[in-house]
Structure 1
Amino acid sequence: MSPLPATGRTALLRRGFALEYATLGWNVIGIVVLTLAAIPARSVALAGFGLDSLIEIGASTVVLWELSGTGEDRQRRALKLIGVGFALLAVYLLVQSTLVLATGFHPRHSPLGIAWTALTAAVMFALAWGKTRTGAALDNPVLKTEGRVTLIDGLLAAAVLVGLLLNTAAGWWWADPAAGYVLVYYALREAKEIFTDH
């Protein structure tokens, strides 16, 4: 790949920063909304998705830190921090989802959770597309990886949405912790990819 002219690289870096700030802002708001939705509904999937938003905030912060400087050592550390966040999320969700299924706990309906996860899925897919393209143009592995993290965030929002809809429409209470297990799978897969590839 031929090196980018300085003006092109600067424009791409600005776009990368803008995408990360947008992700950061969305997820900060998301933690508040998901807390307001998860507590009254007592939903493990919404709580887990709120923690995923917290990890996404951490990942965006790491990418902003990495974009402000260069170097392979800095990129490796940034990627490992993102991987640790995913591993911790997987452990939490595995324990919580198993407890909910074992005790037969029935979460309540959450119209707010349904609306937010539907909107979040659309926003995350758009942000992931922008990050992946920008990361590829910059040849920046951290931004490309975080684009995957954002895509996973969109997929997880869709999985949580399906669980919430099944609980509301069909009374399938177990769909909520099942959505939690979907999050465990994706979180472990992302952590493994980060640690084995970098």
Structure 2
Amino acid sequence: MNQTSPNRTSLQRRALRLEYATIGWNVGEAVLTIALGSVAGSLALIGFGTVSVVEVFASSVVVWHLKPGHDVDHRGRTRLALRLTAMAFLLLAVVLTIAAVSDLASGRQAGESPWGIAYLAVTALVMFGLAMLKRRTAIGLDSAPLKSEATLTFLDGMLSTATLVGLALNAYIGWWWADPAAAILVALAAFNEAKENWQEADELG
């Protein structure tokens, strides 16, 4: 359903604000979690910070697609945005898989990081909230790239939760394998999203 011009412009501005908020949060998140992970010797936190960089890339793609003065319905721009987002999903899947397999193979156990656990809990709430708002806005704009990036933000929230649970289980029960196992599940979901986004881009011609 096409929106009236004023409403569509308002939705476009809202989408951009959400993406700018995501970029700002993830830049800070990358710096903080990599620092906390380095101090605690936690590859889970360091890997999580690396994933934040992927999210910044995906959000930047959507900002480019929704940039004022450009036609968000242009098939060529939408196709390119979907393919770039698919690449972000694929990169996420690869990073998570390599980190998880490395942890499982080496039996490496992360050090305890209470601050990291607390931050991940906050991040999960923020990412789930942003994902919900992005998805609603994407439906209003009928924007496939924004909808796809909303899914990536949701997976970021899922990864936050998985990393949080993994670190907690490792700290209190000694289940060191819980975090890499959960990361593999998130990686599989990311790979599936990469495939679906690429196929959707192909359908646009």
Bin of the TM-score, shorter chain as denominator length: over 0.9
Amino acid at match of 2:129: A
Which residues in structure 2 correspond to 1:119-198 (within 5 Å)? 119-198=122-201
* Equivalence for 1:105: 108
| Alignment check: 8 A CA contact 1:44 1:177 kept | no
| Alignment check: 8 A CA contact 2:29 2:49 kept | yes
Distance 1:82 1:42 in 2: 31
* Equivalence for 1:44: 43
* Equivalence for 2:24: 25
Distance 2:106 2:152 in 1: 32
For normalisation by structure 2, the TM-score amounts to 0.90
* Equivalence for 1:64: 63
Question: Structure 1, unaligned stretches of length 5 or more?
Answer: none
Distance 1:77 1:149 in 2: 17
| Alignment check: 8 A CA contact 2:120 2:161 kept | yes
| Alignment check: 8 A CA contact 1:34 1:50 kept | yes
| Alignment check: 8 A CA contact 2:85 2:148 kept | no
Moved more, 22-31 or 38-47: 38-47
1:26-49 deviation digits (Å, cap 9, x = unpaired):
101100111112112222322222
- Secondary structure of the structure 2 residue equivalent to 1:31: helix
- Note the aligned Cα RMSD (angstroms): 1.4
Distance 2:190 2:91 in 1: 9
Question: Structure 1 pair 181/41, CA: closer, same or farther in 2 (3 Å)?
Answer: farther
Amino acid at match of 1:105: R
Moved more, 144-153 or 41-50: 41-50
1:4-47 deviation digits (Å, cap 9, x = unpaired):
22211111111111111111111011001111121122223222
Distance 1:50 1:128 in 2: 18
For normalisation by structure 1, the TM-score amounts to 0.93
Once the 2 structures are TM-superposed, how far is the Cα of residue 197 of structure 1 from its aligned partner?
Answer: 2.5
Distance 2:3 2:100 in 1: 47
Count of residue correspondences: 197
Amino acid at match of 1:95: I
Report the identity percentage. 46
